[in-house]
Structure 1
Amino acid sequence: MDRRPTIIDVAREAGVSKSTVSLVLQNSPSVRAETRAEVRAAMARLGYVYNRSAAMMRSSSAGLIGLVINDLRNPFFTEFATSLQMALSARGFATVIANTDESPDLQVQVISAMLEHGVSALIISPAYGDGDTAFEMIERAGVPAMQVLRKVNPRTERFPFAAPDYMAGGLLAARHLLAEGCRRIAFVGGMSDRGVTQERMAGYLSELDRAGLEPFALHGRATRAFGREAARQLLARQPRLDGAICFNDMVALGMMSGFAEAGHTVGSAFRIVGFDNIEEAAQAYPSLTSIGCGIADFGVRIAATVLGWLQDGTVPPPELRTPVELLVRRSSGLTQA
């Protein structure tokens, strides 16, 4: 068996019901000695390990889940955290949330505190940097933990990873701008050495290569301030560019401000596509074309995945990618928002 055995596997192996196995694990006197022995033998053959903390959570009215986010100032992460917390609450679980502000040291501190307070699982959108200490702590504690939205630890068999399909998003954005007639397209924002930047760029690079066009990247922090400054730099140094795919909507919104300040119109001579589809993308003027990641639904899905791991022993796959979609608005040429 290439996954952790569950109570259902034990029941099947022993030829009894799931409820009977549960009674054996609870040392209930209602189970015959012969049946108890058969169930224990099946557990030994399968290598089943009883997760007592998860069992205690199942029998109580509420458990505690730790949620560690790298940047809660970004609406993309805030929407994810809100959606996940509400989904867990609907199932009777409480969430303790911490913002690491992209600091590996702070990440170690908050994870240590959560483990000390007895969280039964961790969901982490990790900070980049030296992440080994935090994950080693989690492994010693034996607590289930998922990486979401960005992957730092490569051991996904122990720390499963889930995120939207960023590469597909970059591909959709590039195809759209090419179809709109753009031929000199930049990728703007995101730190070049980070995996999430490389994934979001991958589809863009692939499509430009297929079209026989040269890529151009201007990397930097994924903020409005960088996007605004990037617009100034591109207008001064790369005036022939006619389109940009931004690392996220924050950079794209900043770029639109920079273009407006310089008296340039976005949506005709220059087209912009953002990434994440935060709420403001549709409300900005001009409205921002963006790659929608379905982040609210993603939060609900991650909540269900972690609870399945805790309650039923269903270990998540090492990696999960969820679909994305292109939402076309005025910033890339749509005449009606």
Structure 2
Amino acid sequence: MTRPTIIDVAKAAGVSKSTVSLVLQNSPSVSAKTREDVRKAMQELGYVYNRAAANLRSSQVGLVGLVINDLKNPFFAEFATAVQMAISDAGYATVVANTDENPALQARTIAAMIEHGVSGLIISPAYGDEEATFGQLTRAGVPALQVLRKVSPRTDLFPFAAPDYAAGGRLAAQHLIATGARRIAFVGGIEDRSVTAERLSGYLQVLAEHGQQPKILHGRPTRAFGRECADRLISDPDCDAAVCFNDLVALGVISGFASRGHLVGRDFRLVGFDDIEEAAQSYPPLSSVHCGISGFGQQMAATLMSWLNEGARPVAETRTPVDLVIRASSLVG
């Protein structure tokens, strides 16, 4: 159950948020009747006043919420680090939360951040129960950017920004075809999710242009899934290359091939996506779509700061450029 906020109390009591704040501060400017109505609403809703958070707000410390769907993934961790450092440089404090792809936890986390008076939020959202998260943000009126994944279609309220995933899929597939690949698989990514569809779309476009039939292996974007797919790729004699949904999947494929006596970069061409630090350090080094995620994080921090400090609302949707870093994993022969 979502924790009630000061806004919920104001609605229940039929007063403004500022009036509730005055009641909480024991201001003599509020009438006895209004004070009674507000306290009754607080009791009925189970609202608990957090005086420490109120003291933080009153000290004029800018607080930004950073909500990430999977901080275990190095791609998201690098993004979060870049955002946090840039926001710190701008004089704001950052509250960072990992939701572990759990939309219910995400909704509770954001409710708590709103209650603690965050000035704005940057959210890489979990999928599912969109209203629980974005509905309360709409009611609270807190500026919020959704990044890396577009979960709410209301980009007029929640501007969206991400690297150009479709272009990345095109670059990867074009490169593999240029190296002589005859049948290219796409490995990883949960079906029916927008981020999967975007990364897949560029790959599909290039294959259609060259008359190749796609081979799509949907699944969780993890090393374990990539390793599981190694057998399926090796057992298909026509399949000699793959684009992976992300580098974690690709690193799993490399491991799975090695465990079966095959070598990516010699027997099979492989391209990952995201270009995390480990891509350059794997064996063989992994070709990958480079998203410039650290610079992207700095850009998102600057965008939110401009929104908060100057009222410069971001455009509804932003796509940042990507490029392909070619390494030994895709250069058979």
TM-score (norm 2): 0.81
In the alignment, what sits opposite 1:203?
A: 202
Contact 1:208 1:214 in 2 (8 A): yes
Structure 2 residue 149 is the aligned partner of structure 1 residue 150: yes
Contact 1:274 1:291 in 2 (8 A): yes
- Cα 1:214/1:334, change in 2 over 3 Å: closer
Q: How does 1:149-168 map to 2 (within 5 A)?
A: 149-168=148-167
The counterpart of 1:253, out of the listed 248, 251, 257, is: 251
TM-score (norm 1): 0.80
Contact 1:309 1:316 in 2 (8 A): yes
- Opposite residue 131 of structure 2, the aligned amino acid is D
- Opposite residue 93 of structure 2, the aligned amino acid is A
Structure 2: distance between partners of 1:170 and 1:265: 23
The SS at the match of 2:319 is strand
Q: How does 1:108-119 map to 2 (within 5 A)?
A: 108-119=107-118
Q: Runs of 5+ in structure 1 lacking a partner? A: 1-56
Q: How does 1:223-234 map to 2 (within 5 A)?
A: 223-234=222-233
Q: CA deviation at 1:61?
A: 6.7
The SS at the match of 1:273 is strand
- Opposite residue 91 of structure 2, the aligned amino acid is G
Structure 2 residue 111 is the aligned partner of structure 1 residue 122: no
Structure 2: distance between partners of 1:235 and 1:286: 17
In the alignment, what sits opposite 2:85?
A: 86
Q: CA deviation at 1:269?
A: 2.7
Contact 1:81 1:299 in 2 (8 A): yes
- Opposite residue 125 of structure 2, the aligned amino acid is P
Contact 1:328 1:334 in 2 (8 A): no
In the alignment, what sits opposite 1:281?
A: 279
* Percent sequence identity over aligned pairs: 63
Contact 1:187 1:216 in 2 (8 A): yes
Structure 2: distance between partners of 1:322 and 1:207: 21
In the alignment, what sits opposite 1:48?
A: none
C-alpha distance after superposition, 1:93-135 (max 9, x if no partner): 1110111111110110100010010001011000011111110
Superposition misfits of 4+ residues, deviation over 4 angstroms: none
In the alignment, what sits opposite 1:44?
A: none
Structure 1: distance between partners of 2:313 and 2:135: 19
Structure 1: distance between partners of 2:164 and 2:293: 12
C-alpha distance after superposition, 1:197-252 (max 9, x if no partner): 0000000000000001100100100000000001122223x232000000000000
Structure 2: distance between partners of 1:79 and 1:164: 14
Contact 1:61 1:92 in 2 (8 A): no
Contact 2:269 2:332 in 1 (8 A): no
- Opposite residue 298 of structure 1, the aligned amino acid is F
In the alignment, what sits opposite 1:95?
A: 94
The counterpart of 1:306, out of the listed 304, 318, 321, is: 304
In the alignment, what sits opposite 1:4?
A: none
Q: How does 1:30-41 map to 2 (within 5 A)?
A: none
Structure 1: distance between partners of 2:241 and 2:203: 12
Q: Considering only aligned residues, what root-mean-square deviation do their CA atoms show, in Å? A: 1.4
- Opposite residue 275 of structure 1, the aligned amino acid is F
C-alpha distance after superposition, 1:73-97 (max 9, x if no partner): 0000000000000000011111101
Contact 2:182 2:238 in 1 (8 A): no
Q: CA deviation at 1:334?
A: 7.3
Q: CA deviation at 1:265?
A: 1.5
The SS at the match of 1:96 is strand
C-alpha distance after superposition, 1:291-317 (max 9, x if no partner): 000000000000000000000000000
- Opposite residue 87 of structure 1, the aligned amino acid is A
Q: CA deviation at 1:60?
A: 6.9
- Cα 1:312/1:183, change in 2 over 3 Å: same
